[in-house]
């Protein structure tokens, strides 16, 4: 039953993709705040215990944030493509009035 519930949630809307995009953007902001903290601690207090830690953490956070946001954008495109390929008509025809010759 849980599998059916998950399938119903994921199959009929792009809400999970949009939710993932919003969460990735929020996490990217949090990671960028930690990035500012790491740079601040390195330049003003020199509290890095391991040499090279600051540059490593900066590069990992920067590329991770870029990846998350780009995946969210791709997810939005996939959701829109999904809506288009359902091939649902824009309107329904009530009666066919063509003359069959």
pLDDT of residue 16: 77
Burial of 17 (0-12, 13-18, 19+ CB in 10 A): buried
Question: pLDDT confidence of 101, banded at 50, 70, 90?
Answer: low
CB burial of residue 76 (10 Å; 0-12, 13-18, 19+): middle
What's this model's pTM, rounded to 2 decimal places? 0.59
pLDDT in tens, 20-71: 778 878 887 888 888 888 888 878 887 766 788 777 887 888 888 788 888 8
Q: Of 101 and 96, which is predicted with more confidence?
A: 96
Average pLDDT along the chain: 79
């Amino acid at each position: 039953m849980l599998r059916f519930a998950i399938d119903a949630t994921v199959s009929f809307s792009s809400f999970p993709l949009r939710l993932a995009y919003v969460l990735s953007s929020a996490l990217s902001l949090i990671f960028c705040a930690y990035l500012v903290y790491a740079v601040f601690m390195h330049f003003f207090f020199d509290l890095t215990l391991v040499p090279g830690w600051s540059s490593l953490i900066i590069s990992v956070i920067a590329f991770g944030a870029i990846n998350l946001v780009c995946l969210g954008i791709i997810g939005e495109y996939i959701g829109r493509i999904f809506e288009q390929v359902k091939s649902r008509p824009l309107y329904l025809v009530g009666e066919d009035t063509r003359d069959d010759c």
